[in-house]
Amino acid sequence: MFLKILLLSLLIPFCIAIDTVTANESLPDSGILLSKERNFALGFFSPISSRYRYLGIWYNKLLPEQTVVWVANRENPINDSSGALSMSSDGNLVLHASTDQNFPIWSTNVSLKGRNACKAQLLDSGNLVLVQNERIVWQSFDYPTDTMLPGIRLGLDLKNGFNRFLTSWRSADDPGIGDFSFKLNPTGSPQFFLYKGLIPYWRGNPWTPSVSPTIPQYLFRYTFTNTEDEIYYSFAVDDKSVITRTVVDNSGLLQSLNWDNGSRRWKQSWWAPKYPYGHCGPYSICNFNNVDAYECTCLPGYKPKSLMNWYFRHGSAGCVRKQQQTSMCRNREGFIKVAGVKLPDTSIASSMNKSMSSFGCEQLCLRNCSCKAFAISDFEMKGVYCLTWYGELMDMTEYRGGSDLYVRVDKIELGTFLLLLLALP
Ligand SMILES: *[C@@H]1O[C@H](CO)[C@@H](O)[C@H](O)[C@H]1NC(C)=O
Ligand SMILES: *[C@@H]1O[C@H](CO)[C@@H](O)[C@H](O)[C@H]1NC(C)=O
Ligand SMILES: *[C@@H]1O[C@H](CO)[C@@H](O)[C@H](O)[C@H]1NC(C)=O
Ligand SMILES: *[C@@H]1O[C@H](CO)[C@@H](O)[C@H](O)[C@H]1NC(C)=O
Ligand SMILES: *[C@@H]1O[C@H](CO)[C@@H](O)[C@H](O)[C@H]1NC(C)=O
Ligand SMILES: *[C@@H]1O[C@H](CO)[C@@H](O)[C@H](O)[C@H]1NC(C)=O
């Protein structure tokens, strides 16, 4: 009985504000903040074989693993247990250690209006929020580390020029900024890249209205938004028993993982890259399904730049025009459809805001002799969304459910293609 009362009295102070930090409160190295339903914990941790201390957020219930989803002081580890998270007099969250009491190791560093009390709260989504006057003034979801959780919006906030992206840890025991990042590139028409340093390592599908705004799939809802205010990708899960995250690891693997309650382990459900960016070179398509043949094939009207390289399966030099002496500029050229591909790199593409007809899109491309290809996708049933490419066509992949690409070809290629069509039974 006595023990019970003692336990209760120990529990009560925690129950009041287990998930928040307010003015004059401090979270020491030994402390822990739990979200309301105890899904996530905020506290200090050391990666596997590291003696450094970091402030981070991890899943609280998924034992025995400690899966960290966010780190505050990635680049400024604390080398002892003197770290403490507190609220500064201006309402910002600050992280101090014994080594530097004057200058914080990390801070939310937002300018706050007035002296109204702030509070910091760890939500059950894994988001740490700083709230002033019921308004979120800072959130960890705006500063993701290597992990994307449901609700995080990866991409650009165009109003304040803010790009949210993932960056890998440096190594399994160093959460510092590593080589790989998964980031929106808004140049041309928006698309996501996995970068190694500044170099594209893998590319996601470009944005088109047909993959927008919300694609319902089994358990998940994916959103890709492209407006004047923001361009972002996010996903949501309605079933609370589904625990999922997308992470870029320090070897450059981008993967989606689901928690398997039976084996108590993370299970991979999707991963990239299967082949790196530009694996087959310009004007060439990768096809992983054809096990017997070489995975690179040239677009219609193109041939391997070097047959020797092709024979030895080095595709990165790509393909060149078959008839280089035949102009493709107002010389009875046309388009050949390539069905079911990941559309080429859209950083050299331009897109039409407004819906137009598919004929209009074809004419738009035909009129401009530097236009190499076009693609159309349904635009809210009111017409089509038109994408046109002006430059080298890079990084296409054949896959079921891919888009149709219309490739500009000269009159000889077009003639041969039409003859072949006629010869079909
Ligand atoms: C925090 O501490 C200061 C000075 O010790 C005090 O004036 C203030 O009222 C305290 N604030 C809260 C919310 O307890
Ligand atoms: C921790 O870091 C500080 C500042 O870099 C240094 O002065 C101190 O010696 C370090 N302590 C240990 C135990 O390594
Ligand atoms: C806070 O932000 C300002 C301006 O954005 C910057 O100059 C300053 O270095 C930042 N301070 C910290 C501690 O990060
Ligand atoms: C996970 O497994 C535990 C037992 O190992 C069980 O108590 C719990 O209800 C399960 N959770 C879900 C969401 O299935
Ligand atoms: C697209 O929309 C933006 C903003 O509404 C506008 O500034 C731009 O001129 C438009 N571009 C085209 C090609 O219509
Ligand atoms: C063709 O399109 C490119 C890219 O949009 C543009 O820079 C160029 O001026 C256009 N040329 C003509 C003749 O319209």
- Taking only the tens place, the pLDDT of each residue in 34-93 is 999 999 999 999 999 999 999 999 999 987 889 999 999 999 999 999 999 999 888 999
Q: Which two tokens stand for residue 203?
A: 């590319």
Mean pLDDT (whole number) for 370-385: 84
Ligand 3, atom 1, lies closest to the CA of 109
Mean pLDDT (whole number) for 383-406: 92
Atom of ligand 4 nearest to the CA of 240: 13
Check pocket membership of 80 for ligand 2, CB cut-off 6 A: yes
Strands (DSSP E) found in 244-383: 244-248, 254-260, 265-272, 284-286, 296-298, 302-304, 319-321, 334-342, 349-351, 373-378
Q: Which residues contact 377 (CB under 8 A, 6 or more apart)?
A: 208, 209, 210, 384, 385, 387, 403
Mean pLDDT (whole number) for 325-336: 96
Mean pLDDT (whole number) for 317-330: 96
Ligand 4, atom 3, lies closest to the CA of 261
How much is the pLDDT for 99?
75
How much is the pLDDT for 101?
63
Q: How far, in Å, are 55, 64, 74, 103, 152 from residue 106 at the CA level?
A: 9, 29, 9, 9, 21
Among 11-20, 64-73, 279-288, which is the least confidently predicted range? 11-20
**Banded pLDDT at 210 (limits 50, 70, 90):** low
Topology at the third CATH level for domain 284-423: Hepatocyte Growth Factor (3.50.4)
How much is the pLDDT for 98?
86
Check pocket membership of 116 for ligand 1, CB cut-off 6 A: no
Rounded CA separation 86/235 (Å): 32
DSSP, collapsed to helix, strand or coil, labels residue 359 as helix
Q: How far, in Å, from the CA of 23 to the mean position of ligand 1? A: 7
Instruction: Inform me whether the pLDDT recorded for 250 exceeds 60.
Output: yes
Check pocket membership of 99 for ligand 3, CB cut-off 6 A: no
Mean pLDDT (whole number) for 250-266: 94
Check pocket membership of 350 for ligand 6, CB cut-off 6 A: yes
How much is the pLDDT for 353?
65
How much is the pLDDT for 118?
87
Check pocket membership of 46 for ligand 3, CB cut-off 6 A: no
Mean pLDDT (whole number) for 159-188: 95
CA nearest 151: which of 54, 40, 289, 251?
A: 40
CA nearest 234: which of 153, 165, 140?
A: 153
Ligand 2, atom 11, lies closest to the CA of 79
What is the percentage of the chain residues whose pLDDT exceeds 90? 69
Peptide bond into 216 cis (omega under 30): no
Pair 318, 281: CB distance under 8 Å: yes
**Banded pLDDT at 293 (limits 50, 70, 90):** confident
Q: How far, in Å, from the CA of 352 to the mean position of ligand 6? A: 14
How much is the pLDDT for 214?
59
DSSP, collapsed to helix, strand or coil, labels residue 406 as strand
Check pocket membership of 99 for ligand 2, CB cut-off 6 A: yes
How much is the pLDDT for 218?
73
Residue extents of the structural domains in the chain: 12-143, 144-267, 284-423
**Residue matched to tokens 């004419």:** 363
Instruction: Inform me whether the pLDDT recorded for 378 exceeds 80.
Output: no
**Banded pLDDT at 384 (limits 50, 70, 90):** confident
Rounded CA separation 53/46 (Å): 5
Instruction: Inform me whether the pLDDT recorded for 207 exceeds 80.
Output: yes
Rounded CA separation 171/24 (Å): 36
Q: How far, in Å, from the CA of 188 to the mean position of ligand 6? A: 14
Mean pLDDT (whole number) for 156-170: 94
Rounded CA separation 202/192 (Å): 9
**Banded pLDDT at 11 (limits 50, 70, 90):** very low
**Banded pLDDT at 253 (limits 50, 70, 90):** very high
| Sign of the CA dihedral running 387, 392, 395, 399 | positive
CA nearest 149: which of 216, 246, 60, 57?
A: 246
How much is the pLDDT for 155?
97
How much is the pLDDT for 7?
41
Q: Which residue has the higher pLDDT, 257 or 352?
A: 257
How much is the pLDDT for 380?
65
Ligand 2, atom 6, lies closest to the CA of 99
How much is the pLDDT for 331?
95
What is the percentage of the chain residues whose pLDDT exceeds 70? 92
| Sign of the CA dihedral running 396, 400, 406, 408 | positive
Q: Which of 328, 361, 365, 370 to mutate to test the pocket of ligand 6 (most atoms within 8 A of CB)?
A: 370
For β-strands 128-132 and 118-122, DSSP reports them as: antiparallel
How much is the pLDDT for 6?
40
Q: Helix and strand tally (H, E) in the chain?
A: 4, 35
Domain 12-143 matching CATH 3.30.1520.10: the answer reads no
The ligand with the least distance to the CA atom of 143 is 3
Check pocket membership of 23 for ligand 1, CB cut-off 6 A: yes
Instruction: Inform me whether the pLDDT recorded for 1 exceeds 60.
Output: no
How much is the pLDDT for 385?
86
187-205 burial by CB neighbour count: b if 16+ within 10 A, else e?
ebbbbbbbbbeeebbbbbb
Ligand 4, atom 13, lies closest to the CA of 241
How much is the pLDDT for 150?
97
CATH number of the domain at 144-267, please? Answer: 2.90.10
How much is the pLDDT for 386?
92
How much is the pLDDT for 9?
38
Q: Which of 104-113, 370-379, 390-399 has the highest mean pLDDT?
A: 390-399
**Residue matched to tokens 């308004």:** 135
How much is the pLDDT for 3?
41
CA nearest 35: which of 57, 2, 13, 4?
A: 57
The ligand with the least distance to the CA atom of 158 is 5
Q: How far, in Å, from the CA of 109 to the mean position of ligand 3? A: 6
CA nearest 250: which of 155, 191, 178, 333?
A: 178
Strands (DSSP E) found in 261-348: 265-272, 284-286, 296-298, 302-304, 319-321, 334-342
Q: Which of 8-17, 58-67, 130-139 has the highest mean pLDDT?
A: 130-139
The ligand with the least distance to the CA atom of 116 is 1
Mean pLDDT (whole number) for 364-372: 97
